[in-house]
Amino acid sequence: MVFEGNYFSSATFDKADFTPDSLICVDQSGIIDRVVSASDSDYQIVKQAAMDNDILKQIPKGSYLLPGFTDLHIHAPQWPQAGLALDKPLNEWLNTYTFPLEAKFKDLQYAKKVYQSLIKELLANGTTTGLFFGSVHTDANLVLAKVCAKLGQRAFIGKVAMDNPDQTPDYYRDESSQVALEETETFILKMQALQEQTNADITSVITPRFVPSCTDETLQGLGDLAKKYDLPIQSHCSESIWEDHYATERFNLRDAEVLNKFGLLTDKSVMAHGTQLSDSDLDLFEKTQTAIAHCPISNAYFGNSVMRVHDAYQKNVKIGLGTDISGGFSPSIYRNMQQAIMSSQMLQDSSQKPARLSASNVFYLATIGGANALHINSGQIKAGFKADLQIVQDQYFELSSNNSDEIFERLVYHTNKENIKQVYVAGNLVHDNRGEK
């Protein structure tokens, strides 16, 4: 396939490049094999060949090609309660709403219905790769993997491990550390089989819910499994003051140090939130090459403060964005880009230290930042990268001036689901919104 049109892609943390009138050539395996600019001598030849083969896809005037987004933090089974009870304290939100909901995913029919809705919604919002917490249920997590395989989303999925009876309800936990670890390993092996069978881009992820919900044995065993199978790891780290205090009380260590002690901070780790990370925690993240999933909407509710993205970036800590469905109510990375900017402004006002993020900064996080955290060749429109793409309409194109910086900001600030016209994962069309209007 060959896309013809204008595109935006991050050049650096501080700058998104606009490239007009290009041909983005995608090979059979879904990789961008060449980007031809209008000034290249063979532009017309390449275009004509694409037309002759009926593989030219022209982006309409006023629409733009952008890289697909990576969402680094999604609790898949919480999708039915997105936006519910967020004015409640965390404790009530978890015990009255969240745990009972997740427990329902033992029912595989229910899981299928919810997961189909969620994955369609994420794709419709331009999210081409998702990093998911599932539930404790191995089979329901496989349902999620199958849905992702079928609908074409690149997915990293974890069976949630949670076995600490002090911090989890009796109706929703792994029965023992042994069960938590065995089920995790079973899930890993079944995912391998499913991957081989479907050839889908699905990967299993070691997933301790967070330090409080796991026993020491489970934390250690999960660290060992991550090493044995060379797998990504996800959890929460220093999401709240409560979580920080819990680590100190139980281990006399910082939350990040606990995770590291059990082998859970690696260059394949993605830790959600980190609003309470200290400078030394950030240094540890940098040293271990652990990435942060910044979830600004969720953090407004449960984070107790704003994640210091600017500081983390300065310290060379890897960082991307997450929706945190359903601690965050919105399935849209656009919405989280917007909130990341707003929260950063508010942090700068309250801390009187540099914290401001620009539209270019957050676009980098949503694309390159997320892709780097998961070691995938995605998030850029460039030869050698996967053709994870979204075609986005600038709804105010007729109204305003159209220099590329202004278009870029309008896309970041005003793109709603209905403006995302098509979405591709590795060259495959996974969402088509053109016919609906």
Residue 346 binds a copy of itself, judged by CB under 8 A: yes
Residue 305 binds a copy of itself, judged by CB under 8 A: yes
Instruction: Find, among 57, 127, 5, the residue nearest to 379 by Cα.
Output: 127
Residue 38 binds a copy of itself, judged by CB under 8 A: no
- Give the binding range for a copy of itself (CB under 8 A) out of 83-91, 141-149, 217-225, 259-267: 83-91
Q: Report the C-alpha gap between 317 and 167 in whole angstroms.
A: 30
- Give the binding range for a copy of itself (CB under 8 A) out of 34-42, 78-86, 170-178, 217-225: 78-86
User: Residue from 39, 54, 171, 399 that binds a copy of itself (CB under 8 A)?
Assistant: 399
Cβ atoms of residues 223 and 266 within 8 Å: no
Residue 377 binds a copy of itself, judged by CB under 8 A: no
User: Residue from 80, 179, 190, 229 that binds a copy of itself (CB under 8 A)?
Assistant: 80
Residue 194 binds a copy of itself, judged by CB under 8 A: no
DSSP state of 171: T
Task: Considering the complex, state which of residue 83 and residue 165 has its C-beta at the smaller distance from a copy of itself.
Answer: 83
Instruction: Find, among 66, 67, 15, 131, the residue nearest to 375 by Cα.
Output: 131
Q: Which residues of 186-224 are buried (b: 16+ CB within 10 A; e: fewer)?
A: ebbebbeebbeeeebbbbbbbbbbbbbbbbeebbbbbbe
- Give the binding range for a copy of itself (CB under 8 A) out of 207-215, 219-227, 379-387, 400-408: 400-408
Residue 120 binds a copy of itself, judged by CB under 8 A: no
Residue 117 binds a copy of itself, judged by CB under 8 A: yes
Residue 338 binds a copy of itself, judged by CB under 8 A: yes
User: Residue from 39, 41, 252, 401 that binds a copy of itself (CB under 8 A)?
Assistant: 401
Task: Considering the complex, state which of residue 382 and residue 417 has its C-beta at the smaller distance from a copy of itself.
Answer: 417
Residue 238 binds a copy of itself, judged by CB under 8 A: no
Residue 404 binds a copy of itself, judged by CB under 8 A: no
Phi, psi angles (nearest 5°) of residue 32: -70, 110
Residue 119 binds a copy of itself, judged by CB under 8 A: no
User: Residue from 11, 31, 84, 103 that binds a copy of itself (CB under 8 A)?
Assistant: 84
Phi, psi angles (nearest 5°) of residue 357: -110, 145
HSE-up of 107 (CA within 13 Å, CB side)?
9
- Give the binding range for a copy of itself (CB under 8 A) out of 145-153, 162-170, 374-382, 402-410: 402-410
Residue 86 binds a copy of itself, judged by CB under 8 A: yes
HSE-up of 314 (CA within 13 Å, CB side)?
9
Q: Decide the pairing of beta strands 269-273 and 233-237.
A: parallel
Residue by residue, DSSP assigns 263-312 as T--STTEEEEE-TT--HHHHHHHHHHT-EEEE-HHHHHHHTSS---HHHH
- Give the binding range for a copy of itself (CB under 8 A) out of 62-70, 198-206, 254-262, 403-411: 403-411
In whole angstroms, the minimum distance from the beta carbon of 117 to a copy of itself comes to: 5
Residue 410 binds a copy of itself, judged by CB under 8 A: yes
Residue 58 binds a copy of itself, judged by CB under 8 A: no
Residue by residue, DSSP assigns 227-267 as HHHT--EEEEES-SHHHHHHHHHHHSS-HHHHHHHTT--ST
44: number of Cβ within 10 Å: 12
Residue 304 binds a copy of itself, judged by CB under 8 A: yes
In whole angstroms, the minimum distance from the beta carbon of 68 to a copy of itself comes to: 20
Residue 108 binds a copy of itself, judged by CB under 8 A: no
Cβ atoms of residues 206 and 158 within 8 Å: yes
Cβ atoms of residues 234 and 158 within 8 Å: yes
User: Residue from 32, 35, 359, 425 that binds a copy of itself (CB under 8 A)?
Assistant: 359
φ/ψ bin of 130: left (φ > 0), alpha (ψ from -120 to 50), beta (otherwise) = beta
In whole angstroms, the minimum distance from the beta carbon of 48 to a copy of itself comes to: 37
Residue 132, SS3 per DSSP: strand
Residue 91 binds a copy of itself, judged by CB under 8 A: no
In whole angstroms, the minimum distance from the beta carbon of 437 to a copy of itself comes to: 6
Q: Report the C-alpha gap between 248 and 183 in whole angstroms.
A: 29
Q: Residue 112: is it exposed, middle or buried by C-beta count within 10 angstroms (0-12/13-18/19+)? A: middle
Q: Decide the pairing of beta strands 389-393 and 63-67.
A: antiparallel
Residue 356 binds a copy of itself, judged by CB under 8 A: yes
Phi, psi angles (nearest 5°) of residue 57: -115, 110
- Give the binding range for a copy of itself (CB under 8 A) out of 19-27, 80-88, 205-213, 287-295: 80-88
Cβ atoms of residues 174 and 222 within 8 Å: no
In whole angstroms, the minimum distance from the beta carbon of 349 to a copy of itself comes to: 5
Contact set with a copy of itself (CB under 8 A): 79-87, 113-114, 117, 297, 300-301, 303-306, 329-330, 338-339, 341-343, 345-346, 349-350, 356-359, 396, 399-401, 406, 409-410, 412-414, 416-418, 436-437
